Amino acid sequence: MSQSIKLTFLFFTLFCIGQTQSILDLTKSKKYMAETTEFIKWFRRNDTTKLVLVKESASWNEILKNNTNLVADSTVFSKKEIELIKSQLALIPFLQWNDMILKNSTIVTKQEIDQFFEQSNFDAYEDIKQKFGSGFMNFSAPIFIRNDTYCIFYNDYHFGWTCGGGSLSLYKKEHGSWTFVKSYFENQY
């Protein structure tokens, strides 16, 4: 009996390590990157402006700090899916955006953006526009569930002190194309 408990514990431990490893390697997966590229192209399909994007994806920990609606949404997700989403959100690494994924874009680091605000008080957005041609955006690493048919995605944009916003939304892939399902929060200023 004691040996079967040990074996069960060992199996469970190895399974958990394997699950963690697969989530941590998510952004290295060709399938994940292909799905991400397809989703981002769809997301930006009607926007022809040149994109200035922060290289480091938005932090899920920061996104969810004051926005817990997503991980409590039992109208869309089962309890098991909510737990899966929570575990993925806690473990997914930052995604490094590049211009291979996002054509017609300028990729800047968070540090570059932060320097504009450190060096100038009220003119930071004007300085950013002068250097890059527009404001900037930040995207999260997308979370795909249900065999990549649902996507949870965060984006924000900053074009001035009084022009910006962001949203955390759920999308569904139907007939090969993504559609908006619901927003967990949206803000504009």
The pLDDT, as a whole number, for residue 91 is 65
Q: Which two tokens stand for residue 163?
A: 């022009």
DSSP 120: -
SS3 state of residue 151:
strand
- What is the residue whose two structure tokens read 């939304």? 169
The pLDDT, as a whole number, for residue 85 is 83
Query: Hey, what's the torsion of the CAs at 95, 184, 62, 105, to 10 degrees?
Result: 40
Residues sharing a CB contact under 8 Å with residue 90, sequence separation 6 or more, in sequence order:
60, 61
pTM over 0.85: no
The pLDDT, as a whole number, for residue 154 is 92
The pLDDT, as a whole number, for residue 19 is 37
Q: Which two tokens stand for residue 55?
A: 């290289």
Query: Cβ atoms within 10 A of the Cβ of 119, count?
Result: 10
Among 123, 150, 153, which residue's Cα sits nearest to residue 140?
153
Q: What is the mean pLDDT of each run of 10 residues along the chain (189 residues)?
A: 38 34 53 88 82 85 77 85 80 72 82 87 83 87 91 89 88 95 86
The pLDDT, as a whole number, for residue 181 is 95
The pLDDT, as a whole number, for residue 169 is 94
